[in-house]
Each structure stands twice: as C-alpha cells, then as structure tokens.
Amino acid sequence: MRWNPGGRSENLEDRRASGGGGGGRLRLGLGGMVVLLILSLVFRRDFFSLLSGGGSGIAPSAPNGQELQTSPQVEREVEFVSSVLDSAQTYWTRLLRSEGASYRPPKLVLFRDAIDSACGFAQSATGPFYCPGDEKVYIDLGFFEELRSRFGAPGDFAQAYVLAHEIGHHVQTILGTEQQIRRAQRGDAGRANELSVRMELQADCHAGIWANAAGRNNQIEPGDIEEGLRAAAAVGDDRLQKMSTGHVNPDAFTHGTSEQRMQWFQRGYASGRLNACG
C-alpha cells in the first residue's frame, strides 16, 4: 500500500506507556481470544460483545508510569496506522457530507496488554475493537504480529483492512445503525447472533468502500486487495471455531463466515457506494 511515513494523526491517542494491564495482572495472550470463543459456543452467548456493550466488570490496574519501550519498526507501524486512519477519516468526511450527514472523527487508541474504555476493561488478546460509548477504536499493535504469524494474513493492507473495519463500526454509530441493531437484539434475544453477524458484515463492506476510494487515490498496489481478502477470511467465525474447537457451530456465529466476510468486503470495494452495504 502506498502511504507517506513521517507523521502522526491528530486523532491518534498513544496510551502504550500507561500500563493499563500491568500491575501484576495476568496476561492472557492469544488464548484469551480462544477462551472467549469457547465460552460463546458453550453458553450460546456472544462474549465478544462485552467489548462493545456494557464491559467486563473487571476493574483496571492503575497506570504504573512505565517508560515506553519501542523500536524503529514499531514506530513505523504507528505511522502506518496514522496514515490509514487519516485516509479513512478524510474519505468518510467527504462521503457522509455528500449523503447529508456529518462525520465526527473517532480517536484511535494504541495500548499495550490491556485497556480501560467506556465499554469496559479489555485485554489485548481480544483483538482490536470499537467502543460506541466513547467513539474510539482500540488496538494493541501486537495483534498485527498475530495476524501475520497465527492467522496467516501478512501484509500492510491486511492491517489496513482491520483498521478500516473498525472505523466502519464508527460509521454505523454515526448513521444510527449500531443503535438500531442493539435495540433489535434486546427485543429479540434469539436473533442476537444473526443481527451481530449482519452488523459485522456491513462493517466489512464499509472497509471495502474505503479500499475503493484508496484505489482511486492511487494508494493501492498490486496484491493489496488479496491481502485484505486473506485477512477477512482469516477472522471468519468458521475458521476461528475450527482452529479453537475442531468443529463449526453456525448457531454461535457473531461475525460471519470467511466466505461471507470476503464477499462483503468485495461488495464494498466493487461498488464504492454506501447503499451497497444494505
């Protein structure tokens, strides 16, 4: 992906040195993600939704004032995240204005190990998430290494897809879609997972819309879209369930299958139109 290194977005909030999960708290690692998935399968409840709902109820540790340890490679990753964030924000500002809506930029929060948000306390093992309560995207940059090594989705555009998906959730909040889905889930608990899948797939479509705009802005290089599609497939419910339990339970899907996630990303990318995302 073509981007200009050397700067940081004004909407980037770097809290990697705040020690939100230090203080002797146990690090879950990737296993935490698997545990949440297994709990969702066993109890037929979306435990991942705790990240975008009322939170986990666990009190965070106090900041320990530790000095941030970083490297040139990590800081280049920070600059890349900033570049994608600004690219997406610029695009959505313009598109929503043309649709008669106002876009308010969310903050993107970088953290390490754990973080406290308006949606509750979260470990890095749960992956990137968007919190509608404070309109912020949260990510531990260590997830990108997991995306490469654990999930087999390398490449900078795979990372860009992840960020664009989370910003897609913010667009849903602005347009009122997120609130409508949450009300529908509360009114019909039996359809909660189905509605969650619908919302996640729409966010994938929104990521595709941004990719379309990035292509028109000459930011897309050969192979980028394939990287995005691999990332979408890597985090499909069926693939994650197969990895963690050895079998697939469609009734417990919350984000959609690998095929669905690729299809909806492609739908947004092919059309470049908001109404294509349903």
| pLDDT greater than 50 at residue 143 | yes
Q: Does residue 167 lie within any of the structural domains? A: yes
Question: Which secondary structure element, helix H or strand E, spans residue 207, and what is its range?
Answer: helix 192-216
Q: Does residue 4 lie within any of the structural domains? A: no
Number of domains the chain contains = 1
Q: How much is the average pLDDT of 165-189?
A: 96
pLDDT tens digits, one per residue of 51-81: 444 333 323 333 444 566 788 889 999 999 9
| One-letter amino acid of 259 | E
| Block residue for tokens 């994608």 | 84
Note whether 208 and 231 are within 8 A (CB).
Answer: no
Q: Does residue 62 lie within any of the structural domains? A: yes
Q: Does residue 182 lie within any of the structural domains? A: yes
Tell me the two tokens of residue 112: 């390490």
Q: Does residue 7 lie within any of the structural domains? A: no
Residue 197: band (very low, low, confident or very high) from pLDDT cuts 50, 70, 90: very high
Q: Does residue 18 lie within any of the structural domains? A: yes
Q: Does residue 157 lie within any of the structural domains? A: yes
Q: Does residue 1 lie within any of the structural domains? A: no
The pLDDT assigned to 54 comes to 37
Query: Whole-angstrom Cα distance, residue 170 to residue 131?
Result: 8
pTM score, whole prediction? 0.83
Residue 250 phi/psi, 5-degree rounding, is: -60, -30
Range of the domain at 122: 12-277
